Amino acid sequence: MAYLDFIEKVHTSTKRSYIERVVRYDKAECARVAKQFGEDYWDGERQYGYGGYKYDGRWRPVAEQLARHYQLTRGDRVLDIGCGKGFLLYELTEVVPDLRIAGLDISRYALENAKQEVKSFLQRGTATALPYRDESFDLVLSINTLHNLYNFQLHEALREIERVGKKSKYIVIDSYRNEDEKVNLLYWQITCECFYTPAEWEWLFEVSGYTGDYGCIYYE
């Protein structure tokens, strides 16, 4: 297991007003709307989620780093759990021709509005019960998804990731290293159910038998 940061630049490229989300808006109502993972979350007003999640190429550098680090080649199979509209998977297919991809997401809206080139490879489902055979994928990804589960679900999801991955796995979760980052995370988040320090995440990985790599998003 290694700590790897492939998406910090993507994360920090978005400007955030942490205080505004709890002062200007009804934070509880925003969370209730966001957790439906429908149009409001993806393409509605910013207080409910992304504020418009459109393809803009921002995931290309991430795909390039992933492909290089995990030495992806033609014919390799890659699964993205919490794939959203499939932008990262699309970029991976551009970086590695003939890559075999699969995507899973709980949001019908995201799947219905996914990037056309990869739409047929995506399906609806949950991380706690992956509809794939053991050791089906050379690389299993889950970016900014698992922290939306409850702690008992995390154990199931991590075990599922370990089951379907025959080689490499990489997940990214929200975390905090100090009180400032903890407060910012609490102010900003609207879908997270888990708030853990890196040490707590590592403990959870160990007890769940997860052997892959991971990265954290911090709200500095």
pLDDT digits (tens, 9 = 90+) for 38-85: 999 999 999 999 999 999 999 999 999 999 999 999 999 999 999 999
Q: How many domains does the chain have?
A: 1
Q: Measured between alpha carbons, how far apart are the two ends of the chain, in Å?
A: 25
Q: What are phi and psi of 173, to 5 degrees?
A: -135, 160
What pLDDT score was predicted for residue 10?
A: 78
> Is 191 a member of any domain?
yes
Q: Which residues pair with 213 in a beta bridge?
A: 170
> Is 200 a member of any domain?
yes
Here the CATH number for the domain that contains residue 183 is: 3.40.50.150
8 Å CB contact between 157 and 149? yes
Question: Which domain range does residue 37 map to?
Answer: 8-217
Gap between the Cα atoms of 100 and 128, Å rounded: 22
Q: Which two three-digit tokens encode residue 85?
A: 């509209």
Gap between the Cα atoms of 143 and 40, Å rounded: 20
**Tens-place pLDDT, residues 194-209:** 989 999 999 999 999 9
The band of 9, judged by pLDDT with boundaries at 50, 70 and 90, is confident
pLDDT cut 90: percent of the chain above it: 90
Cα 112 from chain centroid (whole Å): 18
> Is 204 a member of any domain?
yes
**Tens-place pLDDT, residues 87-131:** 999 999 999 999 999 999 999 999 999 999 999 999 999 999 999
> Is 3 a member of any domain?
no
> Is 175 a member of any domain?
yes
8 Å CB contact between 201 and 173? yes
> Is 1 a member of any domain?
no
pTM of the predicted structure, to 2 decimals: 0.94
What pLDDT score was predicted for residue 12?
A: 65
> Is 136 a member of any domain?
yes
